[in-house]
Amino acid sequence: MAATLNPYQLEAALSKQAPGPLYLVVGEEDLLRDHALALLKAVILGDGGDFNYDLFYGDEAAGADIRNCASELPAFAERRLVVVKAAEKLPARETETLVEYLSDPVETTTLVFVSPKLDGRLKFSQALTRRAVLIDCSPPREAQLNAWVTREAERLGIRLDDRPVRDVAGRGLEADRRVGAVRHRQG
């Protein structure tokens, strides 16, 4: 079984080691999924632009196209990045060819599957969770909200004292709306 990290642990891991070949970014929080994907994109592509970047959507992509793209070598760079958003929408017949790829991924490609939730009963989902680094983007628990709001505010360059942090965390909003509340209170 591969490692499970949250987006902040991913950031720390990527500062110490090169990205791996397979990631599953999963969880209900859009903001956290976007943050994790942005981290991977920045580390892998750097200032090289989107030349070694390919994006697929699960409800539109063919499994063979994803596999073929992930099997290509990077051009003028160390790695390429292939992202599949809405991975939960990949039809089962399209994932069969991807299960083979998961068992022997190309080491110069980072293949990232992004989804709010995967069906754990499917062969593809099971293979992916066994082999990919799982980035857990679940909503912060109640006990983690104050620390989460503080960390997000700092990431945005905003310094908060304890009272605004408690106010924002106590609103019970979705994570991305909490960040908007932080900006509003400071604005």
Whole-number Å distance between alpha carbons of 120 and 105: 21
The residue count for the chain: 187
Q: 3-class DSSP state for residue 83?
A: strand
Span 31-44, pLDDT tens digits: 899 999 999 999 99
Q: What is the mean pLDDT of the chain?
A: 86
Span 93-140, pLDDT tens digits: 999 999 999 999 999 999 999 999 999 999 999 999 999 999 999 987
pLDDT at residue 173, rounded to an integer: 44
Strands (E), 48-136: 53-57, 80-85, 109-115, 133-136
**Residue of 150, 129, 125 lying closest to 140 (CA atoms):** 150
State pTM to two decimals.
0.82
Q: 3-class DSSP state for residue 111?
A: strand
pLDDT at residue 52, rounded to an integer: 95
Please name the residue that has the structure tokens 């200032």: 47
Which whole number is the average pLDDT over 60-65?
A: 96
Whole-number Å distance between alpha carbons of 60 and 77: 28
User: Amino acid identity of 177?
Assistant: R
Q: 3-class DSSP state for residue 5?
A: strand
Transcribe 130-168 into DSSP letters: HHSEEEE-PPPPGGGHHHHHHHHHHHTT----HHHHHHH
